[in-house]
């Protein structure tokens, strides 16, 4: 085996290849050779007179050692190797490989404390750091780091010898890679070693780096950031209290004369250091520090610096007073910086209208989060002063700014108290408690003064949110006063919004006061009858009241009251008393508008409650939904005799939204029972389980909305039928003998029975949601019935154009239902739609349908429990986009236009990432799309181009826009002039695009068009529409400023 090692050694000496090192280490690891064999083979090289050979010998030994398993190095071999390497440190030629060997040895379990003594002394004696390069110095620090980590006690026993030696080694290091390691070693030594005699030396070798000014070079392979160095240095600077007397003067110097970056760094470092340096050092330097901090607070360069200075002020006060907090009684006088600073601020607060008062109150607010005694002292000085100032007749003009300052202080006091709403503070632990009566008094007075109302409301909100401060009676007093404000405030002003916010806050934990006083006032102000058309003021008043109720009634108890009261109002509106019921000439529009506002309020609150995760929504399947069905079914049945408010389609649409929202929240079991009642009503005419309310549905009238011959008002109620179906879980079975036959009937109903778009869309949505959720049970329907529908309704040469369009819409929704769940039949249906491109009557309808299929909608959503596969839109786009591009390039004129329409619709429907890679092919097609006669398509294409230009696409895409710049400019100019383009939307879109071009295309490309653009845009400045003129001004300004 020795021969094998000899060969490897000789080969490496000649070639210095890694393979020989690996092979040698492998031989030792497998026990085929020993370290002794290696040393013997290296003997002639280790002792060679030639410097180069001697260095190579030690280098090879160190490399092999680094790859050897630790268990192969015994205590004896480590001892011998340590002595060998320490000896080699004396040789200037072998010092580098020797350090490499020691890096490995100092990590080994067999490396003992006696070895640590020998290694550290050899390093101190023979290693001259100034002559070594960075990587070599890094090895020295790594060795010391290993020794500190593994043999700390041994190094401690060396005492001053080790500390002095280390300081001489570390002094003057500048490389960031080494400094990270040095700072880590410094911190350990400062915390765990006795460095008291050398504290000034440590101060010199650490604080010389403050502040860190290092900026990493571009593409730095080491990844060392400025923050890494700052954090490592700060860990040293606050490692020992002994640094305090030396450090504070340095920090004050940096705060006085440093740059903004240096000041920020200094403030952040002080926040860490002050608590460690201790109260004695902080107290001794308090005035100097405060003078520096005061400058940054009262004359800040920016908000961030002001916040940092306030935070440091807090830390300073906490450091000074925390130590003596336990010994201080509540009545004890505060002395020192807190008192002096507080008095300075109080002087400034004598003029609350001045800007400096804002900074002074921020200081006092910062004091509130320091120590309890300082917080009490601050409130004792500031609150009575501000209250007195507010009540001073000579200071009447300054009441609003005074209350603003007081509101800030109350909020700070709130934050300083316990943050846990479940934990009531101890008696007397609420800082503001001694002053709450006078504060509540001035805030209530301020509430009734328009200029001071906003800050007063802000102060009251902070008091309300302070745990344990106000009694239930006081909360009621606040609610009473805020109610008066709401009643007096005729305009929807900031004061109204703030008042509602305050009442909402109270309602979250004390709803009794809102339900007992505020809601009755609001409900009383809602009229029982709709104001006539000309009564605009009254109409605005009920809109405002409903808006207030919407904001206030989120809380479960309050929402229940809202549902009861608004449902009653709805009944009174939609089914008036018998005295006015017979008036056939009555104008129903005002009542319909009022009823619509009521329903919209309920829908908006329900939607917001669902967003917030409220669990009480589901109970309204019993308390609200039956009343809605009752009202609308009753109205539909009576509409055959006289006009009824609740037959208005706009009301039905909002009622459907409410039913969907409530049904979404139910579990599958509750949906199952609800859907049985629904089908019993709509298919069998038995409304007893579904509808329940004040109006009694006449027994002599039958409810058959899906039967032939049903009245229009009954048919319109299919909207409420579909609203429940779209929100069902897929596990819910429909209570029909055959779902496929039921779907066939629904499809046929859309053809034979539907009378308007609302009816048709409702049934189509219901059909598509059933197909989406139950596709696996509907294979016969999907293969046979859908094909028959295509053949009879779409391939039918005798069908009218409108009938064809309706059938295409139905077919599109069926396809969408399958596509989003990844069903293979979907693409077969899409192929059929492509076949319609030859039919001039409906080719564009089919084209739009193909493009819109993958787009988002409000029916097939996760919230409605639809079955949706991820990336369905991307897969669809990848499938049809190449076909669309090919068709748009090669087809004849009629088909080409259809393909362009499809392209515009598709790109609007899918995420940008799905077509971004195809943009070079798409650009010329999109430009052709701008020549299509349909204004909606033109606007869509311009929006697509605008998104491409404005979103900072990659360089190649900006180049793409530049390539077509001339065509784009001329086309957009043509589309921006009213004489050429009647559509306002297209004109606005074209002008926005023109305004964007100068920011994304180089000047040399656009320069030839500049004069033409500015001249033509002058025409758009006279556009009859203000929105167009506004965009024209923006675009023309951008082009005027556009220079090379």
Record the tokens describing residue 692, joined without a space: 């329940």
Give the total residue count for the chain.
Answer: 1044
The Cα-based distances of 913 to 876, 916, 922 in angstroms read: 13, 5, 14
The Cα-based distances of 691 to 563, 621, 687 in angstroms read: 16, 11, 6
Please check whether residue 923 is in contact with residue 959, taking contact to mean a CB–CB distance below 8 angstroms: no
Position with higher pLDDT, 178 vs 32 = 178
Which helix (H) or strand (E) element contains residue 817?
Answer: helix 801-819
Closest CA to 853 of 888, 811, 825: 811
Question: pLDDT tens for residues 223-262?
Answer: 788 899 999 999 999 999 999 999 999 999 999 887 888 9
Closest CA to 25 of 60, 64, 61, 59: 64
Pick the range with the lowest mean pLDDT from 317-326, 374-383, 674-683, 859-868. 317-326
Task: Read off the pTM.
Answer: 0.78
Q: Read off φ and ψ for residue 76, nearest 5 degrees.
A: -65, -45
Q: How would you class 718 by CB atoms within 10 Å of its CB: exposed for 0-12, middle for 13-18, buried for 19 or more? A: buried
| Whole-angstrom distance, CA of residue 849 vs CA of residue 855 | 10
Question: pLDDT tens for residues 59-95?
Answer: 878 888 888 888 888 888 889 889 888 988 888 888 8
pLDDT for 63: 86
pLDDT for 552: 92
pLDDT for 427: 47
Closest CA to 324 of 366, 280, 274: 280
Share of the chain above pLDDT 90, in %: 55
Confidence grade of residue 284 (pLDDT, cut at 50, 70, 90): very high
Question: pLDDT tens for residues 868-916?
Answer: 998 898 999 989 988 988 888 876 777 888 888 898 889 888 888 888 7
Instruction: Say whether pLDDT at 1041 is over 70.
Output: yes
Q: What is the DSSP letter of 769?
A: H
Q: Read off φ and ψ for residue 816, nearest 5 degrees.
A: -60, -40
| Whole-angstrom distance, CA of residue 764 vs CA of residue 809 | 8
**What is the phi-psi region of residue 844: left when phi exceeds 0, alpha when psi lies from -120 to 50, beta otherwise?**
alpha
Instruction: Say whether pLDDT at 582 is over 50.
Output: no
Confidence grade of residue 155 (pLDDT, cut at 50, 70, 90): very high
Confidence grade of residue 957 (pLDDT, cut at 50, 70, 90): very low
pLDDT for 58: 85
The Cα-based distances of 627 to 296, 575, 578, 791 in angstroms read: 64, 13, 20, 42
User: At 125, is the secondary structure helix, strand, or coil?
Assistant: helix
| Whole-angstrom distance, CA of residue 759 vs CA of residue 748 | 13
Please check whether residue 506 is in contact with residue 513, taking contact to mean a CB–CB distance below 8 angstroms: yes
Confidence grade of residue 410 (pLDDT, cut at 50, 70, 90): very high
pLDDT for 475: 93
User: CA angle 20-24-30, nearest 5°?
Assistant: 140
Record the tokens describing residue 907, joined without a space: 């790109």
pLDDT for 553: 93
Position with higher pLDDT, 60 vs 153 = 153
pLDDT for 468: 86
Closest CA to 383 of 317, 451, 432: 432
Instruction: Say whether pLDDT at 383 is over 80.
Output: yes
Average pLDDT score, the chain:
88
pLDDT for 953: 46
Question: pLDDT tens for residues 593-613?
Answer: 999 999 999 999 999 999 999
pLDDT for 395: 79
Confidence grade of residue 326 (pLDDT, cut at 50, 70, 90): low
pLDDT for 422: 47
Question: pLDDT tens for residues 536-564?
Answer: 889 989 999 999 999 999 999 999 999 99
Share of the chain above pLDDT 70, in %: 95
Instruction: Say whether pLDDT at 41 is over 80.
Output: no
Please check whether residue 618 is in contact with residue 662, taking contact to mean a CB–CB distance below 8 angstroms: yes
Please check whether residue 320 is in contact with residue 286, taking contact to mean a CB–CB distance below 8 angstroms: yes
| Whole-angstrom distance, CA of residue 865 vs CA of residue 727 | 6
Record the tokens describing residue 412, joined without a space: 């700070």
Instruction: Say whether pLDDT at 329 is over 60.
Output: no
Closest CA to 844 of 929, 922, 926: 929
Question: pLDDT tens for residues 339-360?
Answer: 999 999 999 999 999 999 999 9
Closest CA to 888 of 897, 879, 876, 880: 897
Asked whether the bond before 211 is cis by omega within 30 degrees of 0, the reply is yes
User: At 519, is the secondary structure helix, strand, or coil?
Assistant: helix
Alpha carbon 988 to chain centroid, angstroms: 31
Closest CA to 849 of 90, 116, 857, 754: 857
Instruction: Say whether pLDDT at 516 is over 50.
Output: yes
Closest CA to 1029 of 998, 996, 981, 984: 984
Q: Identify which of 381-385, 453-457, 463-467, 658-662 has the greatest average pLDDT.
A: 658-662
Instruction: Say whether pLDDT at 586 is over 80.
Output: no
| Whole-angstrom distance, CA of residue 909 vs CA of residue 906 | 5
- Measured N-to-C along each axis, helices 51-67 and 95-105 cross at an angle, to the nearest 10 degrees, of 20
Q: What is the DSSP letter of 11?
A: H
Within 13 A of 986's CA, how many CA atoms are on the CB side?
A: 25
Pick the range with the lowest mean pLDDT from 9-13, 736-740, 979-983. 9-13
pLDDT for 420: 46
Rg (the chain; Cα; Å): 41
């Amino acid at each position: 085996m020795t021969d094998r090692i000899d060969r490897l050694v000789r080969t490496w000496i000649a070639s210095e290849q890694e393979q020989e090192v690996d092979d040698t280490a492998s031989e030792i690891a497998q026990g085929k050779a020993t370290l002794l064999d290696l040393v013997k083979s290296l003997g002639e090289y280790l002792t060679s007179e030639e410097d180069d050979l001697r260095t190579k010998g030690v280098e090879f030994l160190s490399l092999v050692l680094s790859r050897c398993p630790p268990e192969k190095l015994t205590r004896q071999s480590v001892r011998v190797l340590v002595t060998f390497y320490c000896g080699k440190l004396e040789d200037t030629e072998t010092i580098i490989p020797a350090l490499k060997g020691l890096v490995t040895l100092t990590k080994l379990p067999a490396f003992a404390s006696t070895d640590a003594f020998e290694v550290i002394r050899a390093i101190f004696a023979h290693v001259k750091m100034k002559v070594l390069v960075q990587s070599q110095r890094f090895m020295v620090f790594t060795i010391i780091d290993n020794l500190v980590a593994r043999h700390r006690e041994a190094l401690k026993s060396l005492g001053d010898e080790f500390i002095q030696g280390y300081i001489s080694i570390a002094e003057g290091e500048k490389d960031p890679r080494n400094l990270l390691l040095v700072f880590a070693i410094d911190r350990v030594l400062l915390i765990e070693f006795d460095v008291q005699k050398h504290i000034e030396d440590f101060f010199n070798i650490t604080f010389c780096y403050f502040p860190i000014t290092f900026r990493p070079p571009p593409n730095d392979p080491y990844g060392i950031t400025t923050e890494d160095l700052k954090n490592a240095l700060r860990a040293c600077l606050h490692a020992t209290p002994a640094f305090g007397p030396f450090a504070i003067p340095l920090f004050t110097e940096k705060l006085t004369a440093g740059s903004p970056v240096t000041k920020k760094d200094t403030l952040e470092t002080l926040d860490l250091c002050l608590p460690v340096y201790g109260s004695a050092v902080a107290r001794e330097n308090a005035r100097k520090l405060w003078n520096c901090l005061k400058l940054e607070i009262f004359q800040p360069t920016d908000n961030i610096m002001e916040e940092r200075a306030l935070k440091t002020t807090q830390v300073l006060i906490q450091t000074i007073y925390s130590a003596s907090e336990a010994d201080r009684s509540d009545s004890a006088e505060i002395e020192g910086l807190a008192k002096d600073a507080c008095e300075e601020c109080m002087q400034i607060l004598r003029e609350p209208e001045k800007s400096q008062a804002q900074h002074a109150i921020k200081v006092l607010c910062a004091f509130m989060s320091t120590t309890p005694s300082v917080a009490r002292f601050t409130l004792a000085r500031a609150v009575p002063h501000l209250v007195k100032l507010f009540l001073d007749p000579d200071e009447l003009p300054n009441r609003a700014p005074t209350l603003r300052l007081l509101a800030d202080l109350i909020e700070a006091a709130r934050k300083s108290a316990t943050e846990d709403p479940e934990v009531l503070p101890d008696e007397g632990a609420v800082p503001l408690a001694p002053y709450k009566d006078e504060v509540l008094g001035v805030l209530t007075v301020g509430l009734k003064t328009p200029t001071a109302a906003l800050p007063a409301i802000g102060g009251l909100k902070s008091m309300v949110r302070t745990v344990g401060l106000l009694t239930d009676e006081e909360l009621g007093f606040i609610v009473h006063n805020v109610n008066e404000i709401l009643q007096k405030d005729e305009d929807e002003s900031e004061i109204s919004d703030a008042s509602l916010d305050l009442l909402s806050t109270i309602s979250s934990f004390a709803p009794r006061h809102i339900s007992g006083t505020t809601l009755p006032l609001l409900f009383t102000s809602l009229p029982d009858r709709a104001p006539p058309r000309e009564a605009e003021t009254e109409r605005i008043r009920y809109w405002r009241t409903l808006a207030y109720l919407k904001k206030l009634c989120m809380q479960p108890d309050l929402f229940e009251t809202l549902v009861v009261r608004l449902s009653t109002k709805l009944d009174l509106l939609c089914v008036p008393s018998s005295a006015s019921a017979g008036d056939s000439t009555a104008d129903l529009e005002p009542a319909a508008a009022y009823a619509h506002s009521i329903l919209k309020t309920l829908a908006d609150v329900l939607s917001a409650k669902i967003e917030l995760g409220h669990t009480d929504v589901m109970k309204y399947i019993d308390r609200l939904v039956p009343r809605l069905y009752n009202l609308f079914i009753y109205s539909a049945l009576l509409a055959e005799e006289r006009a009824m408010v609740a037959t208005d389609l706009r009301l039905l649409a909002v009622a459907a939204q409410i039913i969907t929202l409530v049904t979404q929240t139910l579990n599958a079991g509750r949906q199952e029972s609800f859907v049985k009642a629904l089908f019993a009503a709509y298919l069998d005419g038995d409304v007893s389980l579904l509808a329940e309310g004040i109006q009694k549905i006449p027994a002599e009238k039958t409810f058959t909305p899906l039967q032939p011959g049903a009245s229009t008002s009954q048919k319109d109620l299919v909207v409420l039928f579909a609203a429940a179906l779209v929100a069902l879980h897929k596990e819910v079975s429909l209570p029909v003998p055959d779902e496929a036959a039921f779907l066939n009937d629904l499809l046929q109903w859309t053809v034979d029975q539907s009378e308007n778009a609302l009816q048709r869309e409702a049934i189509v949505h219901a059909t598509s949601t059933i197909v989406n959720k139950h596709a696996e049970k509907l294979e016969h329907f999907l293969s046979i019935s859908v094909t028959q529908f295509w053949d009879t309704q779409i391939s039918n040469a005798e069908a009218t154009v409108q009938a064809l369009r309706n059938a295409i819409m139905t077919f599109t929704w069926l396809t969408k239902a399958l596509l989003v769940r990844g069903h293979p039949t979907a693409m077969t249906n899409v192929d059929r739609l492509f076949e319609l491109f030859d039919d001039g009557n409906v080719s564009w309808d089919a084209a739009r349908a193909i493009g819109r299929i993958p787009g988002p909608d409000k029916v097939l959503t996760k919230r409605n429990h639809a079955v949706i596969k991820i990336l369905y839109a991307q897969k669809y786009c990848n499938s049809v986009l190449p076909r669309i591009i090919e068709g748009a390039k090669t087809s004849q004129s009629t088909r080409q236009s259809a393909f362009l329409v499809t392209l515009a619709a598709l790109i609007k429907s899918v995420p940008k990432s799905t077509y971004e890679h195809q943009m070079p092919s798409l650009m010329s097609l999109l430009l052709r799309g701008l020549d299509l006669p349909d204004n909606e398509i033109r606007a869509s294409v311009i929006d697509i181009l605008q998104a491409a230009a404005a979103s900072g696409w990659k360089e190649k895409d900006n180049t793409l826009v530049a390539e077509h710049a001339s065509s784009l400019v001329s086309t957009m100019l043509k589309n921006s002039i009213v004489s050429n383009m009647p559509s306002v939307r297209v004109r606005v879109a074209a002008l926005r695009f023109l305004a964007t071009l100068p920011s994304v295309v180089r000047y040399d490309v656009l320069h030839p068009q500049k004069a033409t653009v500015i001249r033509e845009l002058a025409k758009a400045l006279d556009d009859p529409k203000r929105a167009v003129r506004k965009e024209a001004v923006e675009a023309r300004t951008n082009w005027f400023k556009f220079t090379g």
